[in-house]
Each structure stands twice: as C-alpha cells, then as structure tokens.
Amino acid sequence: MDLRNDWHNFLKSQFKAYPFLKKEDYNGLSLDEVSLVYFNWSRLFIQPVKRNVHYSKEFKCPKAIKKRLEKVVQKIQLGQNLIPHQTRSLKNLYFKDPLYFDWGIQHLHLGDTIEADGFVKREKTNALNDYLLYAFFTEQDAFLVQIMDHASFNKQELAKIIHRNWPETIECYKINGFSPSAPIITDKDINYFRKSGASIFIELDDNAVYGPMGGGISTNRTSVNAIYQNDYFHFRIDKIKQEISNNIFNYANHVRETVGHLPTEMEFILNIDIKNNFSVYEKNSNINFRFEGF
C-alpha cells in the first residue's frame, strides 16, 4: 500500500489537461517533488468563473489599448479562460511568481492575437505590449488595480491602491497594534527581499501595516500557501494509511463478509474525486472505502 505514490501519480496526470505543456515537461518530475511543484504552479491560474469587475479610483487606461482592455474585462465578466493573457512562463512548471505569492496580485497581458502555444502575442517591438493589467481576484470579484508596465512588479503603489479602495478584501492580513518600520521599505527593497525568498510586512497609507497578502514567499521562493497545501494533503493521506494499517483485521473482515471470501492479497489504491475527497479502493474485492473527516 503506497497511497502517497497513488496521490503523486494522480497529480502528475492533471498536467495533461494543459495543452501548452509537453509530456517531457512533467514526466521527468520525481514523485517526491511533484506535489509541491503542482500546488505551486497550479495556484497561479485564474479560475474561469464569472466575476463582478471593479475599477480603482486611480485606474487609468491609455486610449491606444482601451479596446484591448475591454475585451479582457468582458472575458472576466463572462468567466472565460484567461490563461492566454497570463504569463508565458506558465509553460515552465518551476515558474515562481513573486508578485502573486507576496501580494496576491495577478498581471495580465492585453494582446488580442492568440499564438500557436495558446498565449497572446506580445512582440517586444510594439510598445503597446509593455502595458499590463494588474488585478486582484477573489471567487466572485475582480478588482482592477492599475495599468502599468513590466517594471512595476515591485511597486508598493499596487498594494496601496488595494488598501485605499478595497481594504475589506485584505483585512485578514492587517497587522493591528504594529508600529511602522524605520527605515521605510523601498520598492527596491521589495525586489531584494523577494529574490532572497523573504516575506516582509509593508506599511501602506494611514500607517497601516500588512503581512503578505498572497500568503508569502518561502526561502526557496515558492508559495508558502503551496507548502501548506502540500503538507495538508500528505497529512490526510498518511492518516488514512495509518487508519487502515492499525485496523487491517477489521477491513479484512469487511471484505470477507461482503464478497464471501478473503482475497489472497489485499491491494489498496487511493481514489480522488473532483472535490478532492479521498476513498481507498481494494482492487481484488472491488470494494471502495470512503474516508470522511480525514
């Protein structure tokens, strides 16, 4: 019984759903690393669900890209696939997005021509392609922060705009009773800390101090939330394995009573449904054991 191995193979199979990935991109992943790689990578995708769109008071869109923006906004409202407008770096399973991991802010490319690999065209010779839409997403809403260039990933103004316009969306990250730091953290410092794999508090307007609104960056620059997710599922799986091992005679008796005999060997395989509920299938008796509360 190797339920972790079953889990890792299941996660590896999920990569097949992304046509811009090649088999060699994920076939070489070791079973030890596939879980963390999957959670770190998959959390970057904006889920295609209908959302209400909100603009910040500071939002400004250059006239030359207004129609491009309108098309992307319509996709957001209709719940259409936004992957073509996300970074092409998603083709790399080891890609790490410090802006999203740190502040929970996504950046979208506003190109209007989709290329063969499924991402919008963004030729560097066209100055219009340097514009990005910076946005903050929840399950039901999209908060459009600002249109800025590629050099703006570390600008604290992005986080300040969210604080000024929608403080309720980041209230859970606010550090109450904490005095502002000295010296003041600069945008250059933000870049340094992110590259170093450090999560820091930032001071926004009104002396408000916030922890990482995207969950934080670990020392190897992966998402702290992805690490939690990885550990959480491994804990659940190990708990199920322990339950079966500690009560193997009870499971054997259930199999015998159900099918009228006990197989020469019992082989337990982990099953996962679309809601990530776990069950364990005993292959030789065709019995499925559900594990609720694990």
Instruction: Read off the pLDDT of residues 28-40 as tens digits, 9 standing for 90 and up.
Output: 888 889 999 999 9
Q: How confident is the model at residue 258 (pLDDT cuts 50, 70, 90)?
A: confident
Clarify whether residues 119 and 235 are in a common domain.
Answer: no
183, 206, 222: which is the final residue of a domain? 222
178, 198, 222: which is the final residue of a domain? 222
Residue 50 has pLDDT above 70, yes or no: yes
Clarify whether residues 121 and 145 are in a common domain.
Answer: yes
Clarify whether residues 215 and 286 are in a common domain.
Answer: no
Clarify whether residues 131 and 143 are in a common domain.
Answer: yes
Residue with tokens 């986080």: 159
Clarify whether residues 147 and 274 are in a common domain.
Answer: no
Residue 182 has pLDDT above 80, yes or no: no
Clarify whether residues 218 and 238 are in a common domain.
Answer: no
Residue 255 has pLDDT above 80, yes or no: yes
* Integer Rg of the chain from CA: 23
Is 272 within 8 Å of 10 (Cβ atoms)? yes
Q: In DSSP terms, which residues pair with 271 in a beta bridge?
A: 279
Q: What pTM did the predictor assign? A: 0.89
Clarify whether residues 61 and 148 are in a common domain.
Answer: yes
Average pLDDT over residues 281-285: 89
Residue 107 has pLDDT above 90, yes or no: yes
The count of structural domains within the chain is 2
pLDDT digits (tens, 9 = 90+) for 269-282: 999 888 888 999 98
Clarify whether residues 196 and 265 are in a common domain.
Answer: no
Name the burial class of residue 132, with classes exposed (0-12), middle (13-18) and buried (19+) by CB atoms within 10 angstroms of its CB: buried
Clarify whether residues 247 and 180 are in a common domain.
Answer: no
Q: How confident is the model at residue 181 (pLDDT cuts 50, 70, 90)?
A: low
Q: What pLDDT shows up at residue 265? A: 86
Nearest Cα to Cα of residue 240 among 174, 183, 185, 294: 294
Clarify whether residues 69 and 123 are in a common domain.
Answer: yes
222, 237, 270: which is the final residue of a domain? 222
Clarify whether residues 82 and 190 are in a common domain.
Answer: yes
The set of residues, in sequence order, having a beta carbon less than 8 Å from that of 86 and lying 6+ positions away, is: 44, 45, 46, 106, 108, 109, 119
| 154/100 Cα distance (integer angstroms) | 11
| 150/157 Cα distance (integer angstroms) | 14
Domain holding 272, by residue range, is 3-17+19-37+226-290
Clarify whether residues 120 and 75 are in a common domain.
Answer: yes
